[in-house]
Chains A and B, each alone.
Chain A
Amino acid sequence: MFSRFLKKFSGQSTQKDEAKKRLHFALVYDKLEINDSTLKELQSDIVGVISKYFEIDQESIHLEIQRDEDTSALVFNTPIINVKRSRA
């Protein structure tokens, strides 16, 4: 009991805090696992939207999920060939 008090005040985390933190991350990561067909669908939707405004090179599009220690990001990379001006 006393050692727990000490730990609380010294800011030292217990073994279970470590376990809980890792578990939280694992579950978030697990849920980010997206299958290829979903990713393909997403890509074609994004291309559809962007194509309304820009002329893009559909061959060199790159879509991926990047994961870091505690963040994750959806990265969509596409070269722009031209801006469509007809939408004014």
Chain B
Amino acid sequence: MKGKIIVVTSGKGGVGKTTATSAIGAALALEGNRVAVIDMDIGLRNLDVVMGLENRIVFNIVDVVNQKCKLSQAAIKDRRIDNLFLIPASQSDNKDVLTTEAVERISEDLKSEFDYVLMDSPAGIERGFENSIVGANEALVVCTPDVSSVRDADRVIGILYSKSLTPKLIVNRIEPQRVQRGEMLSHEDVLDVLSVELAGLVPLDEYVLTATNAGAPLVLQNDSRAGQAFRRIAKRLNGEESLPVEVPTHKTSMWSKISKKFGLAK
């Protein structure tokens, strides 16, 4: 097996990296791939709770890198999705426990064990970020349509290019109604500012919080628009490149359309 390592990063924190990593990882597994998602945020692990696997942790990525355990011992099997595995971060407060050389060394093992390895990068552009990109073949940059997130994405995209990675962008938490009203940057605006290829567009979705609360896979919720958007992103990554990027739209009900016509809407 010769897999791919994909780093998920953003620069700014809180834009949905961990949600994106777990959702895309799960979706790639649903496509029939053997997938590992790795939490690279040493000291601030969260991918485990998002995936509902927090009480199964025995070993972590630091143990694997430092050869305290085998890769297979640290990989926790997902409860619901076959072929999906989590390698958690350690909660050590020493962020120097991982070196880029050591991470690079295990990259080949990872690629021989899995079809896809998703690295959930910590926020920032420091050691943890460097560790996440060192063995990567592809990169996904997550941003939201706000100025601070887009600016940080630009910085990260520049760094990725300098490391010979060609990043693709996910614009997360799009609110179609606000875009329509001209209150929020549209994905076209974001792409105007950042010169980067688009991986996909994800709408703001209540299901993300409820799925995270339960530690359940978002992509198994058929009503979740974000979940479905992540599934489409995964399909495109998995070779269905012709699958078009869907632009989130605001679904107006028949009644609000009628009332708008008669000037009754606010």
Contact = CB atoms under 8 A, between A and B. Distances in A.
A72 interface: no
B182 A16 contact: yes
Contact of A27 (B181, B182, B185, B193): B193
A22 interface: yes
Interface residues of A, number: 16
Interface of A is mostly: helix
A53 B189 CA distance: 48
B184 interface: yes
B151 A14 contact: no
Interface of B is mostly: helix
B147 A16 contact: no
A9 to B, nearest CB: 14
Nearest to B151: A26
Contact of A20 (B154, B155, B193): B193
Interface in B137-186: 146-147, 150-151, 154-155, 179-186
Contacts of A15: 182-184
B96 interface: no
B193 A7 contact: no
Interface in A12-60: 14-17, 19-20, 22-24, 26-27, 30
Contacts of B151: 23, 26-27, 30
A20 B184 CA distance: 10
A28 to B, nearest CB: 11
Contacts of B179: 16
A30 B155 contact: yes
Given A14-B181, A27-B154, 5 more contacts: A3-B181, A16-B189, A23-B151, A24-B193, A27-B151
A14 B182 contact: yes
B180 A1 contact: yes
Contacts of B193: 20, 23-24, 27
A27 B156 CA distance: 12
B126 interface: no
A16 B185 contact: yes
Given A19-B147, A20-B189, A20-B192, A4 B155 contact: no
B185 A19 contact: yes
Contacts of B150: 23
A15 B189 CA distance: 12
A26 B194 CA distance: 12
A22 B147 contact: yes
A30 B183 contact: no
